[in-house]
Amino acid sequence: MELFRHPSFDNHEAVLFASEAESGLQSIIAIHNTSRGPALGGCRYWQYATEDEALKDVLRLARGMTYKAAIAELPLGGGKTVILADPERRKDPGLFRALGRKIEMLGGRYITAEDVGTSPADMVEVRKETRYVAGIPPEQGGRGDPSPITAYGVYLGLCETVRHALKRDNLRGLTVAVQGLGHVGFNLCRHLNQAGAQLIVADLNAERIRRAEEAFGARPVGLVEILTVEADVLSPNALGAVLNAETIPRLKVAAIAGAANNQLADIERDGALLVRRSIAYAPDYVINAGGLTVVCGEYLGWTADEISRRVDAIGPRLADILREASARGEPTQVVADRKAERLFAASHGSRV
């Protein structure tokens, strides 16, 4: 396993390989950039095929958090944690207390929160060992699961993308193909259904599919098929890299807007492919920043009104990106990256 020459290494400030024999903890904490403030990023609990896959994931996710915090104008840097799930050992509170001890060692450079495979209850265990954690349940003074706010921000971004691509001010009668029905995807479906959209859905979990059918009249298809169905909008809300040289030529949509991180397998190549196909793309980290805004607000003590104001800014922010990309003939991801880099690159790595 290489680090400094790893394809996903982007001058990350620090990468900590954190383990503990007693609890069974095997984790990687990546801090990408702290020029705007302490790195904040969730803790992902996942069964990776290889350790290199885990490293690739945490490096990419940490970098993405830097861009997300910057474009959302939050006083934060970017970081991430992945815990390598052991199929022979159940997830238990001791694992997260061990992680808390490792985070405490970093002295506030990194703040964690929940992510895929973790919950507010897990963050309670982390907080027993460190104060550098957010996403705590409301009954314990936190704001709880940020997924509903993430979903709402994605909904705002999807509506703005439809306005740009289809010249429509509402979703009534439009078809949205939603890949992934986790906490964010299912809440997004609720907003889409209430707005009058017809839903096509895909998920590995049969129970989630059944719930979407019953609650929203959704039509289920397979996880691969969802990328080729005829629809107005595709909304990827599972894992990343679903938009690539193989899938983009087969898309049958006018717009893409979803919560999944790192949807483009290759930013330059795949962004250009979408431009050539005249498919409007909402950069994922621009529209999925609602959850980060919530946990940032929890950590810094913002009011609910301040958090709402910042989440509502997602739509106008995306509109500016879509307009600039259209005027320049550039991929939206390139425009978004450039804007984010202006906000953090000048003082890259200056904080300790």
The domain segmentation of the chain, as residue ranges, is 14-64+79-140, 147-289+315-341
Question: Per-residue pLDDT for 124 more than 90?
Answer: yes
The confidence band for 88, taking pLDDT boundaries of 50, 70 and 90, is confident
Predicted confidence band of residue 351 (pLDDT cuts 50, 70, 90): very low
Query: What is the rounded average pLDDT of the residues 126-147?
Result: 92
Over residues 127-141, the mean pLDDT reads 93
Q: Which residues are the active-site residues?
A: 80
Residues 319-351 as b/e (b if ≥16 CB within 10 A, e otherwise) read eebbebbeeeeebbbbbbbebbeebbeeebeee
Average pLDDT score over residue span 226-247: 95
d(CA 217, CA 181): 14
Over range 210-226, report the average pLDDT.
97
Contact 261, 288 (CB under 8 A): yes
Which pLDDT value is given to residue 346? 54
pLDDT band at 335 (very low <50, low <70, confident <90, very high): very high
Higher pLDDT residue, 344 or 207? 207
Q: Is the pLDDT at 1 greater than 80, yes or no?
A: no
CATH class of 147-289+315-341: alpha beta
Same fold, 14-64+79-140 and 147-289+315-341: yes
Select from 296, 292, 291, 274 the least CA-distant residue to 283: 274
Residue 144 has a pLDDT of 84
Q: Each residue of 272-306: pLDDT tens digit?
A: 999 999 999 999 999 999 999 999 999 999 999 99
Among 83, 158, 96, 157, residue whose Cα is nearest residue 128 = 96
d(CA 319, CA 327): 12
pLDDT at 349 exceeding the cut of 90: no
CB distance 225 to 200 below 8 Å: no
Q: What is the pTM of this model?
A: 0.91
Give the H or E element holding residue 25.
strand 25-33
DSSP 90: -
Nearest to 254 by CA among 237, 274, 271, 279: 279
Residues 342, 321: Cα–Cα separation, whole Å: 14
Calpha distance 245→268 (Å, rounded): 11
Kindly tell me if the per-residue pLDDT of 68 is higher than 70. yes
- Say how far apart CA 122 and CA 229 lie, in whole Å: 37
Cα separation, 70 vs 246, in Å, equals 31
**CATH classification number, 14-64+79-140, choose in 1.25.40.10, 3.20.20.80, 3.40.50.10860, 3.30.565.10:** 3.40.50.10860
Mean pLDDT to the nearest integer, 161-189: 97
Asked if 12 and 78 count as a contact pair (C-beta separation under 8 A), the reply is no
Query: Would you tell me how many other CB atoms lie within 10 Å of the CB of residue 294?
Result: 29
Confidence of residue 9 (pLDDT cuts 50, 70, 90): very high
- Residue range 123-147: mean pLDDT, rounded: 92
What's phi and psi for 126, nearest 5 deg? -60, -40
Query: How far apart are the C-alpha atoms of 183 and 111, rounded to whole Å?
Result: 22
